[in-house]
Chain A
Amino acid sequence: MPTVTYAGTNVAVNDEGFFTDPDQWREDMAPEIANAAGIDTLTEQHWQVLKFMRHEYAEKGTGPTVRALGRTSGVSIKQLYQLFPKGPAKLAAKIAGIPKPRGCI
Chain B
Amino acid sequence: MTKRIVVLGGGTGGTLTANRLRRTLDRDVAITVVDQDDSHVYQPGLLFVPFGLAAPEGIVRSRPRQLHGGISYCRSTVERVDIDNDMVHLANGAALAYDVLVIATGARLLPEETDGLTGPGWRETVHTFYDYDGAMALAAALADFDGGRLVVNVVDMPIKCPVAPLEFCFLADWYFQQRGIRDRVDLTYVTPLDAAFTKPVAANTLAGLLAEKGVELVTEFNTGEVDGAGGRLVSFDDRVVDFDLAVVVPLHGGAAFVGASPGLGDEFGFVPTDQHTLQSMARPNIFVIGDAAAIPTSKAGSVTHFEGEVITRNIARFLAGQELDASFDGHTNCFIESGFHKALLIDFNYDTQPLPGHFPTGVALPLLKESRLNHLGKLMFAWLYWHSLLPGRDIPGVTTAMPHAGKHSPAAADR
Contact = CB atoms under 8 A, between A and B. Distances in A.
Interface of A: 62, 65-68, 71-72, 77-78, 80-81, 85-87, 90, 102-105
Contacts of A87: 194, 220
Nearest to A15: B415
Contact of B297 (A62, A81, A105): A105
Contact of A78 (B156, B158, B220, B224): B224
Nearest to A87: B220
B267 A68 contact: yes
A68 to B, nearest CB: 7
A40 to B, nearest CB: 18
Contacts of B157: 65, 103-104
Interface of B: 156-158, 162, 192-194, 198-199, 220, 222, 224, 236-237, 251, 267-268, 296-298, 332, 348
B221 to A, nearest CB: 10
B237 A105 contact: no
A78 B222 CA distance: 11
B162 A85 contact: no
Nearest to A62: B296
A86 B192 CA distance: 11
B236 A105 contact: no
A105 B193 contact: no
23 contacts: A65-B157, A66-B156, A66-B222, A67-B156, A67-B268, A68-B268, A71-B267, A77-B222, A77-B224, A77-B236, A78-B236, A80-B236, A81-B236, A81-B237, A85-B237, A103-B157, A103-B198, A104-B157, A104-B162, A104-B198, A104-B296, A105-B298, A105-B348
B222 to A, nearest CB: 6
Contacts of B237: 81, 85-86
A85 B267 CA distance: 25
B251 A90 contact: no
A103 B224 contact: no
A86 B222 CA distance: 9
A53 B5 CA distance: 39
A80 B237 CA distance: 9
B34 to A, nearest CB: 28
A65 B195 CA distance: 16
Contacts of B348: 105
Contact of A105 (B162, B251, B267): B162
A99 B157 CA distance: 18
